[in-house]
Amino acid sequence: MSSKRIASLLIALTMLFAATVSIAEAPAGFEADATIGVSLPWLGTQNWMEANDMFKTQLEAAGFKAIVQAADQKVPQQQQQIESMIENGVKVIVVGPIDGTQLGVVLEQAKADGIYVIGYDRMIENTDAVDGVVQYGSIQTGVTQGEALLAGLAAQKGEGPYNIELFGGGPADPNAPNFFIGAMSVLQPKIDDGTLVVVSGQTEFSQCATLDWENNKAQARMDSLLSGFYSDIEIHGVLSPNDGIARAIITASEQAGQEIPVVSGLDAENETITWIWEGRQYSTVAKPTDILVAKTIEIIKSLQEGNGMPETETQIYNGLVDVNVYELPPVAVTRENIEEVFANDPSRMELLK
């Protein structure tokens, strides 16, 4: 055989091998009516109740069968629900983890069975059994909260220095420390230069965290702070990690005879929208659930069609691997911009009447 013939054969074999590898590496799609599992942490706040309803309706509208469950803030229950989803042959599991560090074993089982895993709203930590996470930027959310608190103090409490206190979210939620870190990146320089005074001295996340995000625990801590440090001085502002805790802080302040402090929030819950409109709560941060759910379903459709996970420029280290993160921008909401923010949200606009 001539050398030219041998060279041609080698080129042909190389091209065939490359094509075979390409086919083997191409992500496999699945049936258009496949079952999709969604595991939510609980239904204790408006945003999780909205996610529960929207995943059911929007997955079914997209042609999928849906198993949507909430685990009542109990990690073993969430693990069992995910195991049941695996047994029921789901093709994708969407997980809003109660504790981002406690699902590695069950999610690795899902991965071994060829099931895609998408984190929803929260990072899944210390495992490579996660294909991506869809969330609003958690650090940026905290930055937005901190900036809103400073703006509110300047607008409503005259010149500083300002007496403030700090609250964080549930320590098991991987977003909660990030919210606090983002907020403190804005607030710490003002603490350092004396513009802000944390009268209690409690500035570490471990001191400020609210176990399980429970409003009653936040109110009990606020009661203690007010009686212990503010019996004869005014509290001007409070960093709050979400709306339920914000309302607990405001209620405690009113009961203690304080003027309502400037308080931040998160989730744009209906009751908080009303309170902002009435001037009781200064701000919240909107993370529209419909947009987050729609983005998640967009990714699921990409997987179903065999196109794999969409490209993203953001990766976050989860303690073991870099995870693709699909970040959406949070929006600060105050009385000044509330009508603009919710112009296309008839249900929330109705609350402003």
Alpha helix ranges (H) inside the chain: 3-25, 46-61, 75-87, 104-112, 138-156, 175-192, 205-208, 215-229, 243-255, 270-278, 289-304, 338-341, 346-350
Give the domains, in start order, of the chain with CATH numbers. Answer: 35-130+289-329 (3.40.50.2300), 138-287+333-350 (3.40.50.2300)
Are 82 and 93 within 8 A, CB to CB?
yes
**Per-residue DSSP letter, 241:** S
Q: Which positions ≥6 away from 173 have C-beta within 8 Å? A: 98, 99, 100, 122, 213
pLDDT (average), residues 329-339: 96
pLDDT (average), residues 110-135: 97
Alpha helix ranges (H) inside 98-174: 104-112, 138-156
Q: 39-96: per-residue pLDDT in tens?
A: 999 999 999 999 999 999 999 999 999 999 999 999 999 999 999 999 999 999 999 9
pLDDT (average), residues 8-28: 44
Are 72 and 42 within 8 A, CB to CB?
yes
The model carries a pTM of: 0.84
Q: 277-286: per-residue pLDDT in tens?
A: 999 999 999 9
Q: 156-182: per-residue pLDDT in tens?
A: 999 999 999 999 999 999 999 999 999
pLDDT, residue 28, reads 75
